[in-house]
């Protein structure tokens, strides 16, 4: 008999909110968790489209783009070239450094524009019900992401989350202008997510939600609920995330369902929720 109970988003929200202390911290990853898509990629596309990227940050054949006709399909082709030359890990650095030369407020404005444009084409959407939970509990919600902080802030604005509760990757800033050097401690990923939360005074979040292996360290901090969004091969290291869950949550004796839907189970002293895409 399966240990997983298939359920509905409405039932999950009711269960979680019934157990939530009034002032408990709620922690959410951004890309693939609160939203469909990736705000760093959407913003990078918009930067190029708007002609705001330093030419030297682009491969030569892309340096003379006619910005108003630069499509997201073209941007995906460019991303594949960056991945082929430098590897997937370096892609995240590259997307961040495209903001070089801009004041942080401009990066935020570009991210707002990028989300609106991406929503028109169906590339971007809020992921329900996680985004609803973050919004309802916005005074206690935190977003922790490897994407640029100013881009994640644009998502936080949509949910009413204070900019001071947004943790993301930053570029070094000199005289109010972002450089092309990533600030310490680097891309906010894996153990750095946990470190950043602890440094902000968040050490026992009531619920933590994420969708990749990069969220695991902060998931371990949860006191009651862990919400795992499983995209499989549709997400970078998505299959690896499933294997980590099988190993660390179920001691390789169980595996989360593969059929799309919402499932829950109780183990290791917590409630685990699996949103299968």
Element (H, E) at 166: strand 166-169
Query: What integer pLDDT is reported at residue 64 of this predicted model?
Result: 77
pLDDT at res. 22: 82
Are the C-beta atoms of 156 and 163 separated by less than 8 Å? yes
> Can you tell me the distance from the alpha carbon of 92 to that of 214, in angstroms, rounded to the nearest whole number?
13
**What pLDDT score was predicted for residue 271?**
98
Enumerate the domain spans of the chain: 5-276
Position 152 scores a pLDDT of 98
User: How far is residue 84's CA from residue 9's CA, in Å, rounded to a whole number?
Assistant: 39
Please state the pTM of the whole predicted model.
Answer: 0.96
Task: Specify the fold of 5-276.
Answer: Rossmann fold (3.40.50)
Task: Give me the average pLDDT of each 10-residue run along the chain (277 residues).
Answer: 94 95 94 98 96 92 76 94 92 97 98 97 97 97 98 98 98 97 96 98 97 96 98 86 96 95 96 98
């Amino acid at each position: 008999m399966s240990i997983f109970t298939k359920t509905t988003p409405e039932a999950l929200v009711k269960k979680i909110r019934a157990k939530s202390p009034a002032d408990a911290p709620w922690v959410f990853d951004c890309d693939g968790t609160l939203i469909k898509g990736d705000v760093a990629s959407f913003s990078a596309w918009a930067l190029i489209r708007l002609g705001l990227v330093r030419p030297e940050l682009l491969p030569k054949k892309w340096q003379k783009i006619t910005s108003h006709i630069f499509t997201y399909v073209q941007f995906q082709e460019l991303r594949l070239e960056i991945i082929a030359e430098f590897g997937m890990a370096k892609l995240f650095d590259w997307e961040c450094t495209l903001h070089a030369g801009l004041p942080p407020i401009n990066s935020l404005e570009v991210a707002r524009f990028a989300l609106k444009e991406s929503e028109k084409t169906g590339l971007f959407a809020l992921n329900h019900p996680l985004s609803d939970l973050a919004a309802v509990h916005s005074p206690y919600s935190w977003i922790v992401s490897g994407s640029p902080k100013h881009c994640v802030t644009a998502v936080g604005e949509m949910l009413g989350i204070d900019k001071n509760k947004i943790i993301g990757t930053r570029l070094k800033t000199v005289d109010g202008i972002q450089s092309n050097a990533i600030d310490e401690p680097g891309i906010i990923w894996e153990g750095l997510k946990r470190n950043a939360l602890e440094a902000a005074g968040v050490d026992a979040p009531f619920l933590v939600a994420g969708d990749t292996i990069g969220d695991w360290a902060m998931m371990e901090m949860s006191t009651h609920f862990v919400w795992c969004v499983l995209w499989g091969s549709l997400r970078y290291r998505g299959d690896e995330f499933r294997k980590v869950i099988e190993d660390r949550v179920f001691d390789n004796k169980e595996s989360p369902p593969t059929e799309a839907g919402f499932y829950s189970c109780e183990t290791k002293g917590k409630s685990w929720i699996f949103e299968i895409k």
